[in-house]
Structure 1
């Protein structure tokens, strides 16, 4: 009986589907010579597969079945098809590596492998797959087992390939005992479930199907992508992902409409990613050897990609090799003081330094016998795992973080986050690629990375030389050189020492410059201050502002310029006047406080420069400018009442945060329309909070009596009353009145508006106070609300003014409106008369000056006195 017949005899009659191929019948040729007969007989004995071609079976085969690529060579190793021929089981090679064979299930139309048994042990073309009553196994010609199914409870009656692509072993009752869907490789198909706790594992490459370094893990709350155990992406991060419930995930499944994480009942959706509707259901999700999850549909012989994550090349953990820096567009470079290695990745330029290996039996403890150095990775870089792990320690400085790494032989580097209160992240066991993060707005802002390096005991760097090596030269000289040459030798030794010292100093300078990038950074790294934002050097900001080309604001202590950083982001750069500036440490201490304050209604400090005597701030740019331009400017669209209320509320919320909600209480001291900035959709942000603290005591003493801007100064600046956050409340009240009127409170030719507001409040004539440009588009009760709040804020007695949190409550409607106290507002009547007199004097002499009378309350200084804008 031929080989194909023997194989088919074990198949049930209704399951047989014979397909004969090129059979070579045995026909004796008596008239042929003995030699030819012997040759043919040898072939028939030793190469039986040449004599018979095996058949392809449909749906099912029974035990005592064997297959190899060689046996089914005419069918490209295929021996089993699903009922409709959608999937096939075969022993075949990959397109790229045809000499390595795998027992696989493949989608026929697209030739995509969806499952492989022996992915970690490739077969040869003659190695065999065997189906017995005990299960499936793959062994080589020497009998060595390459793969097998686990022990089964019952005897196998058949192996079936279902139309879903699931390969199953069933018993005599047709009950499934084992299925390939429960042992996924790197692919999921429609109808397959991946339970929580199980994963897909990538291949090493397109040519090597062995398990690679990337894993897609289904957890009880999400799906995560990991590289060597470190997370770098979650399904919930996908732009099309929707979280439907907070229940636990039981399994991941895919159907014709999308990818789903479902609860234990099989119907409760926890997270879903809706894809284009594909009624045919031919959809394949695969974790590629590049670390990406892709989902594609196969329609009309074409692939349609529906999902690809992560989208950003730089979020792939090993895209640029070890310590390689991935920049925008996927370009790879090395950090400062590192160079490219031929084998890939980056290594220290200094040959006296080497990268440590993670702990093992041979290396454990050896690191502690070596000197350890840390090479900085520079600014604006981060590590993929930092956003998905908790720091090993919080509230520690950089040196303490480095000590934690030095004492841990598994630690290969660190990231230290200033903006998160001194968080220490350890890079353990493996280091992947670094990615560029210009102007990051998350916790990575201020997170600096360092790679641990071991200082070799012998190397080219003279810094690493030891005393024994330096002493060996003169001792050898005394033994080998006659006494007459001793003085010549001594001269050579002295010259060598001088050269060595010069080389050491030069190299130390180069190392320092390479690590710190700028003189300003070098000056700042001698002390530790948690919370510092990004540091810029002066030249970088000069380039960003095109040599201070576009001025967008100015104030008592500084000028603001528009700038564009190297990553094309637009910023506002404030030059603080250099006279009397603080020392670097004091300046940076205040910068750290300001930089740590984040609120939707406060302008964010993105960085700073403290280089020599120069002090600059890099701030968030607000494209609609300051409130005064929008509120008072000629030719600008009129602010509607609703917009004015939103501006008032946003400003109040920002001040309330400064006064009572941030860690360090801050009094602004200069609340005015010029320091209230607007962005798209009239988003409101207060600028210049905390700026006055950046001044030295010598400079600040000039403003002990007055600090603020004329027209917004609280009366207590001119008295012995203690200064508190109520000065900001007073200034806010003055701004609120200007928002109502749409003009300056002290506009020439008009009555002093705060006094007019008080009089109209007494007469309940609120409509007379509204900006006439609104043309009756506001109701009296709406105006009354803002006017009453404003008058309460400008009480002469600070204790009578509400807190800013109370102002927010009144604006939002959660608190009852306060009632202005007339006895604490009478100073406005006195000041109103003086204002009229001063306005007349100003009109007659043409000078924009007011005289300060120290004995009077809330009079205006002869010059604008303000903090820098």
Structure 2
């Protein structure tokens, strides 16, 4: 009877324990709690769900076999958004212990003993509750309901809406889809950008992403994901520094994939939809084709093929030297590759990768050293930590590739791009045999044996002759070597030491080369405040534009080179590329890429075929993108100071590029008279130039607004124009003209008046003959008026201008009270034109002489109201030219 009772009791207790352990809690669990995976076989290891039933905490088994992790899962997609023991996968014996001291992940030994494999760090107070929030955050709370630990503060490879990744923290990839151990890829949140890295080397920047908007230069505080996109915030969340705008979504996951791609997915149905991937080109992933593999992009959709570079062949899905006597170098801790000198590899050689092969690291890093020749660069790679190098022959720059090599990528590069070299080692067996034979051969046939058979006197004379000739030959080689190094700076009287320490300088051209390329500076194609521009053809048949900078204002050689280095390091699709420079004979020359359609003013204001509206919009957008990059995308903010149609260049296929950026610092005080007393050109200068207001990037915004108005009308802002009035709308969204008149029109004022009336169509260039809609014109007019606000703080940033043009943010609303000054410019222009004709334009003053500023009244149409700022000779700033 006792045995029956014992059996029944055991069955009852076992059933009770099983029922208790299979309970799935909702919202929270209190200590003390423990469980193992074996107790949850039928419940897929889930023991806690959020109140919304969207997230769970479970013993997750991604490979279906052996790897178990304590994870927070998004239930609908079975995505692990966080794992506790990611680097310590455990078998089915995995368990959890929740105690007042925190969470512990446990495992059982073969003898049945329980060991702790992972635990939360020591906490400041005792745990009263473990809660899973509706955002997927696993939180430990104390008795006062204060958070003392949370999974969101310890990210793995994923971030979800509501989570913040602070500056200095990183997402770390997994080794595979089923092995959550930490991989080699990181998404690091730096104080200035979001960076994708492989083994510490950057291969993508968030600010360089084509969908990214850079709003501020403030230091970054954290990264966050929300329903509208990915954001880098500054000043504790009060400022958006960089953002990637996506379509609205209720749930979104951003993940660093195990292969190095960073993806953002939304959840519109039963599966996630990938809406963003970086980098877009798979061949820019550092290890896409394995070590030393060569990736070639085959389609615009990102498809690719892997192969091996020239001189290498595939063995077991890896690339190795085709020459069987060579091998790739071993790691530094391998004695076979290191001699007694401390890591210098004496049996190494280098295999060239050929033309058209690039490497991710040289795109995002500065050269290891500059102004050295190929031999010196090669000598720097003799250490065992160096796996190869790239050498740029045009700039004498050396990029060392340290430690493990990733994949290379095929490019459309030319001979002028850096050439890659991979270090290879002569196998020990070859060194032991072939090396000794060569040595003995030399010793048996060298000069000492010949000397032994010569007469003593003849041998002595011959030896002296050889020594003298050797000395002369050595001195000649040394002078030639110095001449080769100094030849590029023969275009300058400066010593090499003056520029050796300045990184980033572009190619130095010899003056004679540029003289010949431009046919002795006879083929002038333009001129401006910074100097004259000449078309040239270099010896490699590339066409360039050579600008002669006159009256350089920078004092000192190093300052000049430093500014040129800054300009040369700026690369953007909408900025003209500086290919090189020369400084000789008291002249400074800059060599730019050639834009075959010339400047915008030649096309816009001439009798050439009319620019269609879509091309005008592309010009406006491209110029805005270039300025936005100068203001927000560069390491150091650059204010252009002379935005005007003459500095907007056009090329085939609607390419738009801004020129003359960064040159304002090179201008001397005397030369500034070409622009008025300020930096810039009359008609485009912002009002703050003549006030005590500080000059900022908003001065460029004002100039851009004035250019945008000229782009809309197809005429200079101050000129004799046909002014039309209308009473009814046309069928195309525009308006039918009722009357017209020829007279002096200050177009910014005309645009303001038409904006107040809501009539935009007639502002468009009449040469378009109606091939534009009222809405299209309204968009550019509103953006332009917002840009020319009198108060700089009211003007949008160029990043926001780009966003408005692209439709990423709503159009701004022009503030009429900050546009009243246009009425005075317009009135003075009309009065001066009537009295003195169009030649009086450059001598008018929009305000009465001696005017010091009167507060505007509420009647915006009153001709007696005055703007709020104090002006002197304001026509030199924003008025007609």
Tell me the TM-score normalized by structure 2.
0.50
Question: Distance in 2 between the 1:153 and 1:247 partners?
Answer: 33
Mapped pair 1:417 → 2:400: no
Mapped pair 1:348 → 2:321: yes
Q: Which residue of 2 aligns with 1:283?
A: 252
Mapped pair 1:382 → 2:358: yes
Q: Which residue of 1 aligns with 2:264?
A: 295
Q: Which residue of 2 aligns with 1:87?
A: 55
Question: Distance in 2 between the 1:783 and 1:313 partners?
Answer: 60
Q: Which residue of 2 aligns with 1:309?
A: 278
Contact preservation (8 Å) 2:218, 2:235: no
Question: Distance in 1 between the 2:658 and 2:29 partners?
Answer: 73
Q: CA deviation at 1:424?
A: 0.8
Residue 262 and residue 430 in structure 1: after superposition, are their counterparts in 2 closer, same or farther (change >3 A)? same
Contact preservation (8 Å) 2:355, 2:413: no
Contact preservation (8 Å) 1:459, 1:465: no
Alignment of 1:313-712 (within 5 A): 313-329=282-298, 330-342=304-316, 344-360=317-333, 362=335, 365-366=338-339, 368=344, 370-406=346-382, 408-419=383-394, 421-439=395-413, 445-459=416-430, 464=435, 466-467=437-438, 639=608, 679=652
Question: Distance in 1 between the 2:196 and 2:322 partners?
Answer: 33
Q: CA deviation at 1:153?
A: 1.4
Q: Which residue of 2 aligns with 1:56?
A: 24
Residue 303 and residue 683 in structure 1: after superposition, are their counterparts in 2 closer, same or farther (change >3 A)? closer
Q: CA deviation at 1:98?
A: 3.6
Residue 678 and residue 55 in structure 1: after superposition, are their counterparts in 2 closer, same or farther (change >3 A)? closer
Residue 253 and residue 45 in structure 1: after superposition, are their counterparts in 2 closer, same or farther (change >3 A)? same
Residue 369 and residue 466 in structure 1: after superposition, are their counterparts in 2 closer, same or farther (change >3 A)? farther
In structure 2, which of residues 42, 45, 66 is the aligned counterpart of residue 99 of structure 1? 66
Residue 82 and residue 601 in structure 1: after superposition, are their counterparts in 2 closer, same or farther (change >3 A)? closer
Q: CA deviation at 1:395?
A: 0.2
Question: Distance in 2 between the 1:234 and 1:602 partners?
Answer: 22
Residue 357 and residue 145 in structure 1: after superposition, are their counterparts in 2 closer, same or farther (change >3 A)? farther
Question: Distance in 2 between the 1:528 and 1:124 partners?
Answer: 64
Output the aligned Cα RMSD.
4.9
Residue 530 and residue 211 in structure 1: after superposition, are their counterparts in 2 closer, same or farther (change >3 A)? farther
Residue 620 and residue 28 in structure 1: after superposition, are their counterparts in 2 closer, same or farther (change >3 A)? farther
In structure 1, which of residues 124, 136, 151 is the aligned counterpart of residue 103 of structure 2? 136
Contact preservation (8 Å) 1:258, 1:275: yes
Contact preservation (8 Å) 1:215, 1:225: yes
Residue 356 and residue 28 in structure 1: after superposition, are their counterparts in 2 closer, same or farther (change >3 A)? same
Residue 55 and residue 393 in structure 1: after superposition, are their counterparts in 2 closer, same or farther (change >3 A)? same
Contact preservation (8 Å) 1:49, 1:70: no
Contact preservation (8 Å) 1:317, 1:432: yes
Question: Distance in 1 between the 2:55 and 2:24 partners?
Answer: 13
Contact preservation (8 Å) 2:21, 2:35: no
Residue 465 and residue 51 in structure 1: after superposition, are their counterparts in 2 closer, same or farther (change >3 A)? farther
Q: CA deviation at 1:465?
A: 5.9
Contact preservation (8 Å) 1:62, 1:158: yes
Question: Distance in 2 between the 1:373 and 1:134 partners?
Answer: 58
Contact preservation (8 Å) 1:133, 1:157: yes
Question: Distance in 1 between the 2:575 and 2:103 partners?
Answer: 66
Question: Distance in 2 between the 1:220 and 1:28 partners?
Answer: 72
Q: CA deviation at 1:368?
A: 2.7
Alignment of 1:158-237 (within 5 A): 158-237=129-208
Contact preservation (8 Å) 2:59, 2:94: no
Contact preservation (8 Å) 2:330, 2:337: no
Q: Which residue of 2 aligns with 1:826?
A: none
Question: Distance in 2 between the 1:200 and 1:597 partners?
Answer: 29
Aligned residue for 2:297, secondary structure, equals coil
In structure 2, which of residues 56, 80, 97 is the aligned counterpart of residue 113 of structure 1? 80
Q: Which residue of 2 aligns with 1:253?
A: 224
Q: CA deviation at 1:277?
A: 1.2
Contact preservation (8 Å) 1:603, 1:685: no
Tell me the TM-score normalized by structure 1.
0.51
Q: Deviations over 1:624-655 (max 9, x none)?
A: 799xxx99xxxxx9637999xxxxxxxxxxxx
Q: CA deviation at 1:604?
A: 10
Q: CA deviation at 1:273?
A: 0.9
Q: CA deviation at 1:145?
A: 2.6
Q: CA deviation at 1:265?
A: 2.7
Aligned residue for 1:225, secondary structure, equals strand
Question: Distance in 2 between the 1:238 and 1:193 partners?
Answer: 21
In structure 1, which of residues 263, 268, 285 is the aligned counterpart of residue 234 of structure 2? 263
List runs of 5+ in structure 1 lacking aligned partners: 1-26, 31-36, 472-526, 533-554, 557-571, 577-595, 607-618, 632-636, 644-675, 687-774, 786-812, 815-869
In structure 1, which of residues 35, 49, 69 is the aligned counterpart of residue 37 of structure 2? 69
Question: Distance in 2 between the 1:72 and 1:227 partners?
Answer: 38
Q: CA deviation at 1:331?
A: 1.2
Q: CA deviation at 1:439?
A: 3.3
Question: Distance in 1 between the 2:80 and 2:264 partners?
Answer: 14
Larger radius of gyration: 1
Contact preservation (8 Å) 1:244, 1:270: yes
Q: CA deviation at 1:286?
A: 0.4
Residue 86 and residue 575 in structure 1: after superposition, are their counterparts in 2 closer, same or farther (change >3 A)? closer
In structure 2, which of residues 111, 119, 122 is the aligned counterpart of residue 151 of structure 1? 122
Q: Deviations over 1:441-492 (max 9, x none)?
A: xxx9420110112223423998656458999xxxxxxxxxxxxxxxxxxxxx
Q: CA deviation at 1:438?
A: 0.5
Q: Which residue of 1 aligns with 2:735?
A: none
Aligned residue for 1:331, secondary structure, equals strand
Q: CA deviation at 1:362?
A: 4.8
Q: Deviations over 1:517-576 (max 9, x none)?
A: xxxxxxxxxx999999xxxxxxxxxxxxxxxxxxxxxx99xxxxxxxxxxxxxxx99999
Contact preservation (8 Å) 1:44, 1:51: no
Question: Distance in 1 between the 2:189 and 2:334 partners?
Answer: 33
Aligned residue for 1:450, secondary structure, equals strand
List runs of 5+ in structure 2 lacking aligned partners: 299-303, 443-483, 490-517, 520-536, 542-567, 581-591, 613-648, 660-766, 768-832, 842-875
Contact preservation (8 Å) 1:49, 1:71: no
Matched residue count: 499
Question: Distance in 2 between the 1:110 and 1:176 partners?
Answer: 28
Q: Deviations over 1:96-124 (max 9, x none)?
A: 34421100000111111100000111111
Aligned residue for 1:66, secondary structure, equals strand
In structure 2, which of residues 91, 96, 117 is the aligned counterpart of residue 124 of structure 1? 91
